[in-house]
Amino acid sequence: MTQSKSDSELIFHYRKTNDLSVIGELYTRYTSLVYSVCLKYMKDRDEAKDAAMQLFEKLIDTLRSHEIENFKSWLYVAARNHCLMQIRSKKGKFKEEIDALDVENGFLLHPTEENELEMNLGRLEDCIQRLIEGQQECVRLFYLEEKCYKEITVITGFELNKVKSFIQNGKRNLKICMEENG
């Protein structure tokens, strides 16, 4: 019964009945997409599996409280963000011993260059967050994940001209934002 329903119909049914089999159907439909996204970011199969499971567990509450128009693209972005948050939370938990010889020989990046790079990446992420949702999603897919227009249309459900427009306008808005915050 649930297999013939659209994602929107399933979510509506879930909100109405709290039927967990709906989550199971969405899991069946999108587990490979979520796992692939998680594997891309986590770069470890076990961590990717754990992240995918955590995301689907969160759906139990998230689907009750969020209006979602395009579930597949929303899930893709949610998976990416979940993985990035996990990666950020691990940052700084690993200590690396620095060999004095490396420092003397200048193998390490100069601290000011490293700080500048980190600041620029932080500004870029802030500017991406300020883009409207469609621009944000298409820019990330095109520039950060190196997807082609056709792949982006499949992932997002947007028409080709809309994808091109989002990327072009998003790129222009990013440039303006980076210059203003530079």
Percent of the chain with pLDDT over 90: 20
- Summarised one tens digit per residue, pLDDT across range 42-78 is 888 999 999 999 988 888 888 888 888 888 888 888 8
Interhelix angle 149-156/160-180, rounded to 10 degrees, is: 100
Output the CA torsion sign for 136, 164, 80, 114: negative
**Which range in 64-68, 97-101, 152-156 is most confidently predicted, on average pLDDT?**
152-156
- Summarised one tens digit per residue, pLDDT across range 104-153 is 444 444 445 556 666 777 788 888 888 999 999 998 888 877 788 998 99
Query: How much is the mean pLDDT over the chain?
Result: 81
Output the CA torsion sign for 127, 128, 131, 132: negative
In terms of phi and psi (left: phi > 0; alpha: psi -120 to 50; beta: otherwise), the region of 146 is left
Q: Tell me the C-alpha distance between 83 and 64, whole Å.
A: 22
Would you say 23 and 29 are in contact if contact means Cβ atoms under 8 Å apart? no
